Amino acid sequence: MRTKILHIGLIAAMGLLAACGSSPRAPQQQIIGQIPAGSPFAKVQPGMSMKQVHDLIGQPTDSYNRMTGKMFIPFYFGSDAMRMEELYKGQGRITYTGVGATGANFNVYQITYDPSEDGYNNR
């Protein structure tokens, strides 16, 4: 009986340890495309606030926002529950993150340089 309990405990401990292990995630690429030095997007850096971006390169042609899957996780208090994407005609897109349980504080998450961007949300 004692051996059986020991085996069950050992199997449970191994299961818990296996569940804790995870493969390292590749970092998200934050700048997509080759941004030319003369482009307004060259002034934008990941982590900048939305206000800083608007002061540097002006208002976008269009924008939209979307929820991430983290919005539906109970007790998720991080700042990645929603994304805001701003579209700049002839330049590309700037994606912000920063909405969570504590409020909204949008910061640049990803810069996508695409000179063929029409600037309108066609989704």
Full set of structural domains in the chain with CATH:
30-123 (3.30.1450)
pLDDT tens digits along 60-80: 999 988 877 776 677 777 777
58 vs 80: CA distance, rounded Å = 24
Measured CA to CA, the distance from residue 77 to residue 70 in angstroms comes to: 9
Round to whole Å and give the CA distance between 51 and 33.
23
Round to whole Å and give the CA distance between 19 and 17: 5
Stronger pLDDT, 15 or 46, i.e. the higher one: 46
Contact between residue 57 and residue 44 where contact means Cβ atoms under 8 Å apart: yes
Closest CA to 53 of 39, 43, 62: 43
The confidence score (pLDDT) of residue 7 equals 63
Distance from C-alpha of 11 to C-alpha of 52, rounded to nearest angstrom: 54
Answer whether residue 28 shows pLDDT above 60.
yes
Are the C-beta atoms of 49 and 107 separated by less than 8 Å? yes
